[in-house]
A and B are shown apart, each in its own frame.
Chain A
């Protein structure tokens, strides 16, 4: 098996990019992404001809160009010996894209693979978008007709967590406050203005007990990662990360188990965590920073607990006291997380990998975690029914 490196990462700032249908001048998917690919290859110092695989996240249904991967191979004139394909796996999509691109190198099908995609959805109102997304997070005959929304499951995690641990709403929402502080230092973040706890508590209720500022915004984005063999990475003369470990687990559940179980232990994240630590030969206390897929504030707490980064049942309290803030014991989501960096859902794990790349290669500017060498990322689908985690280390 060949060693895999992350050699470059480029993206547009997360935000509202998608054109309204009636706009006389349109922003289109292939122009947006090909520009990001060009930047990423320049940053990696590799030639276009070296790219032998391109793994895309599948664009939303609102994206006009279909068969997007093969269209892009033509648009950019890419000849590939490895896979050219699109992947869809709900919130895990970007993680699976990264994973598959890494496999292309691991298996020796190419020495350079791109993990990339566009997410364009913000011109579609949230209430319309949910008519579609509710079908992905529930049984469409036996649950969705009750009116469950994707984040309603996380809200039920929050209600249960508060019941079991005595955590307060403010402690849970301190995740959003912390993430906003981080985003203010991230040029790629969607929301960079100062925010207070009063703002969070006064914001429009979305799903009890979560308000507009506890839940993810609507976001567009475009991102391209360059993964390479160690040989190519060393030849490039550029800084890079080495993929140290990988772990995944699907608990065989879609949203909720069909028998009573501990919903908030996020056991898929626990199992994926055990696997990734074992694969990397590391323990949670050896992780310097983590970028976790956490659409809502409560989710960041629960996944950090499941991965052993925060203490079980104390994650909200530990977040409030600053353990996961820049300068704290284990900085989490220095990008600003889903709430403030933004959440282009099908790319979020790729933006998380980009943050690890910038941090671990000391290119994170004002939000740099000094001396950070080892980073963990983790993504999920459903109500963390499945989790996929990777550990990267500075070369």
Chain B
């Protein structure tokens, strides 16, 4: 269950496409579930979800829930953005390593002065006017050192 719902202003600057296959992911996100695929032959989970397994190229995959928890491997703050993102600058993006052993790139909805490597983060749903996207917020009750 995605607990963090973050209101955003306006429409998504660069909305993702939905396919017959990825509809499960985007509908899951709308329903506060953070999903991906796992190979039923070799067991490998992957993100983004894919209709084939990048480890063994099997086409037998199943949808699985992710905990939506991880930590920051690295981050940056973007001051000079593509014009379609200009209204959101400055904004933070980062690389998140999840508890399932996946690595993904995402928006970090965290104040720049708090950002640090290894910070525990939790998935959030970014609620734009035209639909959702995903990002990460600082995990509540984080007791890690600054």
Q: Do A and B come from one complex?
A: yes
Q: Are the CB atoms of A127 and B47 closer together than 8 Å?
A: no
Size of the chain B interface, CB-CB below 8 angstroms: 43
Q: Are the CB atoms of B112 and A208 closer together than 8 Å?
A: yes
Inter-chain contact total with CB atoms closer than 8 Å: 123
In the complex, chain A residues whose CB is within 8 Å of the CB of B104:
142, 256, 258
In the complex, chain B residues whose CB is within 8 Å of the CB of A206:
79-80
Q: Are the CB atoms of A147 and B81 closer together than 8 Å?
A: yes
Q: In the complex, A206→B79 CA distance in Å? A: 5
Q: A152-B76, A156-B94, A260-B97 are in contact. Are A143 and B85 (CB under 8 A)?
A: no
Interface residue ranges of B64-104 to A (CB < 8 Å): 73-86, 88, 90-91, 93-95, 97, 101-104
Q: In the complex, A138→B101 CA distance in Å? A: 20
Q: In the complex, A261→B103 CA distance in Å? A: 9
Q: Are the CB atoms of B82 and A134 closer together than 8 Å?
A: yes
Q: In the complex, A148→B107 CA distance in Å? A: 8
Q: Are the CB atoms of B91 and A147 closer together than 8 Å?
A: yes
Chain A nearest CB, measured from B77 CB (Å): 4
- Asked whether any CB of chain A lies closer than 8 Å to the CB of B135, the reply is yes
Q: In the complex, A126→B133 CA distance in Å? A: 26
Chain B nearest CB, measured from A124 CB (Å): 11
**Chain A residue at minimal CB-CB distance from B17:** A141
Q: Are the CB atoms of A160 and B79 closer together than 8 Å?
A: no
- Asked whether any CB of chain A lies closer than 8 Å to the CB of B141, the reply is no
- Asked whether any CB of chain A lies closer than 8 Å to the CB of B16, the reply is yes
- Asked whether any CB of chain A lies closer than 8 Å to the CB of B15, the reply is yes
Q: Are the CB atoms of A159 and B79 closer together than 8 Å?
A: no
Q: Are the CB atoms of A160 and B54 closer together than 8 Å?
A: no
Q: In the complex, A83→B22 CA distance in Å? A: 41
Q: In the complex, A173→B77 CA distance in Å? A: 17
Candidate in B74, B93, B101 with the most chain A CB atoms within 10 angstroms: B74
Q: Are the CB atoms of B77 and A207 closer together than 8 Å?
A: yes
Contact mask A123-167 → B, CB, 8 Å, 1/0? 001111011001000111111111111001001111110010000
In the complex, chain A residues whose CB is within 8 Å of the CB of B91:
147
Q: Are the CB atoms of A156 and B13 closer together than 8 Å?
A: no
In the complex, chain B residues whose CB is within 8 Å of the CB of A148:
78, 93, 105
**Chain A residue at minimal CB-CB distance from B77:** A208
- Asked whether any CB of chain B lies closer than 8 Å to the CB of A110, the reply is no
Q: In the complex, A257→B102 CA distance in Å? A: 9
- Asked whether any CB of chain A lies closer than 8 Å to the CB of B30, the reply is no
- Asked whether any CB of chain A lies closer than 8 Å to the CB of B122, the reply is no
Q: In the complex, A171→B90 CA distance in Å? A: 25
Q: Are the CB atoms of B112 and A260 closer together than 8 Å?
A: no
Q: Are the CB atoms of B80 and A143 closer together than 8 Å?
A: no
Q: In the complex, A156→B72 CA distance in Å? A: 11
Q: A156-B76, A156-B95 are in contact. Are A149 and B82 (CB under 8 A)?
A: yes
In the complex, chain A residues whose CB is within 8 Å of the CB of B15:
145
In the complex, chain A residues whose CB is within 8 Å of the CB of B83:
125, 127-128, 130-131
Q: In the complex, A139→B106 CA distance in Å? A: 11
- Asked whether any CB of chain B lies closer than 8 Å to the CB of A259, the reply is yes
**Chain A residue at minimal CB-CB distance from B22:** A141
- Asked whether any CB of chain B lies closer than 8 Å to the CB of A263, the reply is yes
Chain B nearest CB, measured from A255 CB (Å): 7
- From the candidates B47, B78, B86, B90, name the one contacting A258 in the complex (CB within 8 A): B47
Q: In the complex, A158→B95 CA distance in Å? A: 13
Q: A152-B93, A156-B75, A207-B78 are in contact. Are A142 and B14 (CB under 8 A)?
A: no
Q: Are the CB atoms of B82 and A163 closer together than 8 Å?
A: no
Q: In the complex, A139→B103 CA distance in Å? A: 13
- Asked whether any CB of chain B lies closer than 8 Å to the CB of A108, the reply is no
Interface residue ranges of A43-89 to B (CB < 8 Å): none
In the complex, chain A residues whose CB is within 8 Å of the CB of B79:
204-208
Q: In the complex, A145→B103 CA distance in Å? A: 17
Q: In the complex, A146→B107 CA distance in Å? A: 5
Q: In the complex, A128→B81 CA distance in Å? A: 9
Q: In the complex, A208→B90 CA distance in Å? A: 10
Chain A nearest CB, measured from B6 CB (Å): 13
Q: Are the CB atoms of A143 and B47 closer together than 8 Å?
A: no
Q: A130-B81, A160-B73 are in contact. Are A256 and B103 (CB under 8 A)?
A: yes
What are 17 A-B pairs at a CB distance below 8 A?
A: A127-B86, A130-B81, A131-B83, A141-B16, A141-B22, A145-B15, A145-B16, A146-B135, A147-B93, A147-B107, A156-B75, A156-B94, A156-B95, A157-B74, A204-B80, A258-B102, A259-B102
Query: Which 3 residue pairs across A and B have the least CB separation, nearest first?
Result: A155-B76, A130-B82, A142-B48
